[in-house]
Amino acid sequence: MDRPASALKELIENSIDAHATQIDLFLAEGGVQEMRVVDNGDGIHPDDFPLLATSHATSKIRHIGDLEFASTLGFRGEALHALSVVSTLRIRSRRDGFSGMEASFSGGEATEILPVGITKGTVVIVQDLFHSLPARLRFLGSSSEEAARCRKVVLDHLLAHPQIAFTLKHGNRTLLRSGGNNHLPDLASLSWGQEVAACALPIEIKGEEWALSGLLTRPDHGIRGKKGLHVSVNGRPVSMPGINAGLKKACSGWMGDGRSPQAILRFTVPADRVDVNVHPTKSRVALRVEGWSDLLIQETRKSLTSLLGLPSLSLGGEIEQRHLPLDKPVGYLGIVFGTFLVFTQEDELILLDGHAASERVLYEELGAQAPPAAQPLLSPIETPLPIQVSHRRALWKRLGILWEEHPTHWLVTALPPHIPAHALSITDAEEDERAEDFRESLRSGACRGSWRGGMEMNSALAQSLWNGWIRCQDPWTCPHGRRVALRLQRDDAERLFQRKTD
């Protein structure tokens, strides 16, 4: 126990073990001055009071086998003992059918035990944490930093137990509040913000003897690092090696540059399949179940595909996401809202995001193995000398660009049809140095080189964009994972206008 947050974690886990459905937490001065945990759980038997804070006192091991199964959150009987040594500890508690008791503890001993009137449940009050350990105190951050660490601990527990109502207050500020209504998207907003949580995707996986349920953010709400990742196993917040990498893998193609979706993942696994002893504080676990990681990747890809495939405006019925006869001719009607190209195709109306489609085309073209044939330019384009000469040579060669090298500049003489002239800034050396890998440089190059709202668009350009787009291997998303097209079928329109009722 090295800081208020780790003490708070132990106290919360005790309340959860005692089947509390409401847990209220108060902190003063980052938890150092006071930490108070109020729960409505089972309470403590009066006979147990004298022993509560002795070393290895636990009510949670009835059989020697329990040690292995570790089905409750804490089982070492050390938390209250440790707290009684490094703080002023007081506990009030009442169990159904018994009278309430209050005790103060110091150095592992109960100093005073008195009867007290209290509703069912337990109140644990920790004051002056680490008062006897000035070195430990110096190592702590400011009270708002310590409160933020406490908030993280509570948040992890609250997401692992959506059916428990939590409140966390620091002084008179409420840092967290959850209703215990088991509604994960509401709770997720406490970590990710309302907007991101509102469009998160539920994930449910049933393995042979394990299950996973949770939420994933859309790829475009992915972030670098693990801040938005909350994993729990059998109600215990944990970190599990490999999860972030798995999610990243599952989303490759939809998002890049080291980001991964934020996620709440709640595993339910037979207790004997959890290796909790990977780490002394039990915060890192390994699962001994076959194939969970592959299934997670597979299911994540599935739900992202259904999200990012071509969505329809259809109101009813199952839609075959990818069914759009791309090879049929389209008519270009015009452009709306600055960026959406409107096409018709037989019984469909299609809205194409011009920028996203053009980005996709360019992205695939830039990454193509064999560069498309270059067409000579009527007036060659002069570009400044690159800083990384060999890098630019390699990239331009790969893109199928033809050029002449002069001592003061390079002259581009031919370009493949789908690379617009302004895409030549793609290989801007500064950008390339920062690019993590070739794909990323393609992605940012495609973004900068592609058509955007405000640029010229006419029927010929629209048709050529359409033709380029339908040849893409993965037409439904732009390189950043955003949607490229929407469709409205005649049927849907008729239903929307209530010409049809089925």
Residues forming contacts to ligand ADP in the complex (CB under 6 A) are: 10, 14-15, 18, 39, 41-44, 52, 57-60, 74-81, 122
CB of 14 to Mg ion, least distance (A): 4
User: Closest separation between CB of residue 45 and ligand ADP, Å?
Assistant: 8
Q: Does 122 bind Mg ion (CB under 5 A)?
A: no
Q: Do 229 and 251 touch, CB atoms closer than 8 A?
A: no
Shortest distance, position 309 Cβ to Mg ion, whole Å: 47
- CB-wise, 122 or 450, nearer to ligand ADP? 122
In the list Mg ion, ligand ADP, none, the entry touching 158 (Cβ below 5 to 8 angstroms by class) is none
Which of ligand ADP, Mg ion, none does residue 300 bind (CB under 5 to 8 Å by kind)?
none
125 vs 38: CA distance, rounded Å: 9
First-to-last alpha carbon distance for the chain, in angstroms, is 63
**Which one-letter amino acid corresponds to residue 332?**
Y
Distance CA 108, CA 494 (A): 76
Q: Which listed option, Mg ion, ligand ADP, none, makes contact with residue 256 (CB within 5 to 8 Å by class)?
A: none
Closest CA to 261 of 306, 223, 302: 223
Specify the residue, 166 or 476, whose C-beta has the smaller distance to Mg ion: 166
The nearer residue to ligand ADP, 120 or 495, going by C-beta atoms, is: 120
Taking residue 219's Cβ as centre, other Cβ atoms within 10 Å add up to: 26
Whole-number minimum distance, CB 20 to ligand ADP, in Å? 7
Work out whether strand 331-336 and strand 340-345 pair parallel, antiparallel, or are unpaired: antiparallel
Q: Which two tokens stand for residue 238?
A: 């944990």
Nearest-approach distance from CB 269 to ligand ADP, in angstroms: 21
User: Looking at 7-15, 112-120, 246-254, 477-485, which segment touches Mg ion (CB under 5 A)?
Assistant: 7-15
**Residue 338: what are its φ and ψ, rounded to 5°?**
80, -25
> Is 250 one of the binding residues for Mg ion (CB under 5 A)?
no
Q: Are 166 and 25 in contact (CB under 8 A)?
A: yes
Out of Mg ion, ligand ADP, none, which partner does residue 122 contact, by CB within 5 to 8 A per kind? ligand ADP
Residue with the CB atom nearest Mg ion in the bound state:
74
Closer residue to ligand ADP, CB minimum distance, 29 or 39? 39
Q: Is the CB of 52 or the CB of 399 nearer to ligand ADP?
A: 52
Stretch in the footprint of Mg ion (CB under 5 A) among 12-20, 92-100, 472-480, 486-494: 12-20
Contacts of 299 (CB under 8 A, 6+ apart): 203, 205
Helices 389-399, 354-367: crossing angle, 10 deg rounding: 100
Cα Rg for the chain, rounded, in angstroms?
A: 30
| CB of 38 or CB of 484, closer to ligand ADP | 38
CA distance 162 to 178: 8
Specify the length of the chain in residues: 502
CB of 425 to Mg ion, least distance (A): 60
Residue recorded with tokens 């996203």: 356
Nearer to Mg ion, 79 or 155 (CB): 79
Instruction: Work out how close the CB of 279 gets to ligand ADP at its nearest, in angstroms, rounded to a whole number.
Output: 16
Write the binding mask 47 to 86 for Mg ion: x where contact by CB under 5 A, - elsewhere.
---------------------------x----x-------
Pick from Mg ion, ligand ADP, none: which does 80 bind, CB < 5 to 8 A by kind?
ligand ADP
Q: Which amino acid is at 38?
A: V
Token duo for residue 278: 């990977």
Rounded to whole angstroms, the Cα distance separating 224 from 256 reads 10
Cβ proximity of 489 and 483 under 8 Å: no
Nearer to ligand ADP, 79 or 231 (CB): 79
Q: Of the ranges 14-22, 332-340, 343-351, 494-502, which one interacts with Mg ion (CB under 5 A)? A: 14-22
- Which residues are registered as beta bridge partners of 123? 38, 92
Q: Which helix (H) or strand (E) holds 10?
A: helix 4-17
C-beta of 58 vs 312, nearer to Mg ion = 58
**Binding residues for Mg ion (CB under 5 A):** 14, 74, 79
